[in-house]
Amino acid sequence: MSMTRTEVRAKVIAYFAWRFGAPASEFTNDTKVRRRFSAAAWAGLADVFNNTTWMEDLGVKLKRSDMKDLKTIGGLVDAIAKKASI
């Protein structure tokens, strides 16, 4: 499955909107979502995203270690897009 960076961003934002019960419009590339998670829970988000249909369709997987330096939605989108070469 091919996906654009904009589509990846929409999927990531949809997850956080669902997770925090907030409108998607409250989330941007600069939203610092990392601070809402413990270190272990943040690393575990790699597994959460890896188990989504859209990530499986992209054929990419995040490593827990990939999450270490990510802090924002934009950073997460960039990491996924880089792995997917988009």
Predicted confidence band of residue 5 (pLDDT cuts 50, 70, 90)? very high
Look at residues 20, 86, 27 and name the one whose alpha carbon lies nearest to residue 57. Answer: 86
75 token code pair:
């950073």
Give the chain's domains with CATH numbers: 5-84 (1.10.1200)
The span from the CA of 70 to the CA of 53, in Å, is 22
Q: What is the pLDDT of residues 44-77, one digit of tens each?
A: 999 999 999 999 999 999 999 999 999 999 999 9
pLDDT at 56: 94
